[in-house]
Chain A
């Protein structure tokens, strides 16, 4: 034993000292940088709000802001202005009467903010899983719901739910045209038509299943993007809101296509949508575009917006959904301009 022990008599020092020292030297700092959170007042600036969904159940929804004049991006307007988190899954934002209506899906609420200071002025609660808000005249607005087979009727003066409209399935984006409200449906193959005078479903127009976005073109016609499913193909459909008839259908080849985030430019002549890449289609075209307008090239395109003023195209990259996303700006001709960081899972663009 003694023969073994003597060469190792310095071992206690080595055992205790060396790893300690190497550990200390090799250790990484784990404390993250705390972001500086100063409230930003937008004032009369022109730019775009970016709604960041955040992760389901993580409560990290936020709203980013991009100032068009100076190119400055603000990662979050809400938390610095209010000192609290916005909520869980920000599905959409609607500007109306100087206010922003933030529809927070999994928190079951609509948060009303001043569009300049971004301070919350009211919270409308009582929803199941709200998706989109559409003002339909006067102080009235409709809110679509993912669950519960109904639309909510809001009084925007009282900031309260004042009624419900039974409408089957998962109601999604809505548009007001020819005095009627047209409601896309993610789980049923119809666009439902609601008369805002009676707050009741007046008609339904067969399209494809998976209807998710709807825009009005220069001719006053409505375009609907449908993901397909349930035996119906992915498609773009054109509806005449006056006759309540589907006028044209552009089916995608193969069921793996996923057209969504349909947008239209300011003059209403050009449609844009996501299907992995960004695609562009003139409203007069008689076929779907074959090649991408902006190729994703490894990016995870999750949101799309077109500036109604100058036609600049904004594309949001959600990357891996668990880090802050990025927004890429392209000219109306598809030439890359710049990019900037946004919040977690950027999905929607609201221009002002």
Chain B
């Protein structure tokens, strides 16, 4: 473990959302508010960012990749509108971000990744980014950080009918309709969504003579989906829920700037069903939950004879107990997870199956004055009878002053080899070891009122991580094979600040964040390897974001800019993509019609400066583009008599 970066264990910014937030799941019981801690709360000392509701509303028609690109410091490897989007979190690979939907990891067992372009923002009520090593809580893959997508039911909320539509440049059309009936003891809701886009945007082909303006071809997208949720309150203490998310996605895969044309296409279809029973006691909360995921992928290449089909099924069962002791100054969480996955693919001669069982526990302490919180977490997973690396984390948060909080965390992290790594034929390597490493961070977060009208938040985090046995595919004889070769050292500084001025119904906010990420390969992969000590490809060393927003009553206006620095496209850092600055603007206006109806209108523009840029090499990106949308909501509260005593 390197220590040189730990000297300046100071931070700046964690920002408006930078506190180690408690994420209370609040339920009202006989007028007593019982706050049930979530598993995410058992991570002291890590940076947590809750995407605010304004951003969620703005991106309600978009996918998670678009949202995170704009609203988080994650680097999204976006292959173009509607195309594949994966993440690099704090210099990690796409396999190093865990994406959890209501606590269930939705990463594909086949490649260990989530294509963020296939996750609509509307699938969750809130989006939380938990930075840093979370393997002790979430298991394999929670290395750079975790993205938590949660649905939050509100009982006795009444009837809500909501519908929205947007249309935008390049034939982009999106619709959503939802109905939710929320009674004191039951909630039922259904959302359906539909997206289609031609994606035939104009772009400049700088690779051709005279940099001609071309129109993107063969990038059409169609997506349909449904989200159904049911929540029952069995009695004052018990609840049960069931959720179902179905989605199909059909897209054409456009040619790169260097290809003449493409006829490739990809169809994804997924079913995800989850259920959870929970009992809320005075001291002990118990949870039993299960999930069933079935994902299919059909790919047709440009060639006449290239097509691939794969299907993965995952069954997850989990039980968890949370205990509050000593007037809630100590909390204990113990859980058992069993994940069974199997897959069919043209690349797998047999039908690989994998069963993983994990026992995990956390213990959280607050001091008597509740000025500090410390959490220890442990997790041991067994994969098909073999123990995976034992992981743990230790973190602490300390309130230095009423306006200042310090935090630090250290964790053991790991990632298991995927089915492709293990079983792909030819090449799959069944002797692969898990990737394993340490991650640590320390931060300060400040929050204060400069005057009656002005509030300031600022924060900073220093992090570092080492990852050994990093798996890469290298040639071995006639085919490629994955090996535990690389050792990667990632470190960086994240800073964040926001100043807000409010008066009456007007709020003006000016915010910014910056990221500095150095992620280098520390071990030669071959003789003559010039990549040692060099930045990994597609990890921007510098990136930043600035945003000015004005809210005045029902009107909300914002302008923002995102800077992404050089990204190398060769491991010796000799080839690179140029930095880009993307500016965007959004205006929304909320209209209330009576007590029951409301509508919000949204107009936004992207790439205002008409930047000609590439996120990924040779994948064209759109120039300036626009979107307008409307969302109409009807809400009728339940009659008074239905409210519980």
Contacts and interface: CB of A to CB of B under 8 A. Distances in A.
B570 A322 contact: yes
Interface string A74-91: 000000001111011000
A129 interface: yes
Interface stretch (A39-47, A156-164, A236-244, A294-302): A294-302
Interface string A81-120: 0111101100000000000000000111100000000000
B404 A300 contact: no
Interface stretch (A1-9, A65-73, A304-312): A1-9
A8 B404 contact: yes
Interface in B243-263: 256-260
B402 interface: yes
B370 interface: no
A88 B572 CA distance: 20
A323 B258 contact: no
A211 interface: no
Q: Is the interface of B mostly helix, strand, loop or mixed?
A: loop
Interface string A28-61: 1011110100000000000000000000011110
Interface string A238-265: 0000000000000000001110000000
Contacts of B527: 297-299, 317
Nearest to A35: B574
A108 B259 contact: yes
A257 B477 contact: yes
A323 B566 contact: no
Contact of A319 (B458, B462, B526, B568): B526
Nearest to B570: A323
For this complex, into which size category does the number of interface residues on chain B fall? 35 or more
Interface residues of A, number: 61
B542 interface: yes
Interface string B527-538: 111110001010
Interface stretch (B8-16, B88-96, B108-116, B216-224): B8-16
B207 interface: yes
B258 A59 contact: yes
Interface string A111-149: 000000000000001001100000000000000001110
A27 interface: yes
Contacts of A83: 209
Contacts of A109: 260
A219 interface: no
A180 interface: no
Contacts of A59: 207, 256-258, 617-618
Nearest to A120: B209
A4 B528 contact: no
The CB with the most chain A CB atoms within 10 A, among B537, B571, B575, is that of: B575
Contact of B12 (A16, A26, A31): A16
B256 A88 contact: yes
B541 A30 contact: yes
A256 B12 contact: no
Contacts of A257: 477
Given A30-B541, A31-B566, A59-B256, A84 B209 contact: yes
Which 6 residue pairs across A and B have the least CB separation, nearest first? A59-B258, A298-B527, A88-B258, A323-B572, A30-B541, A22-B8
23 contacts: A1-B402, A19-B11, A20-B12, A27-B516, A30-B540, A30-B565, A30-B566, A58-B569, A59-B256, A82-B209, A85-B258, A106-B258, A106-B259, A107-B258, A147-B304, A147-B305, A210-B478, A298-B527, A300-B475, A319-B529, A319-B530, A320-B525, A320-B531
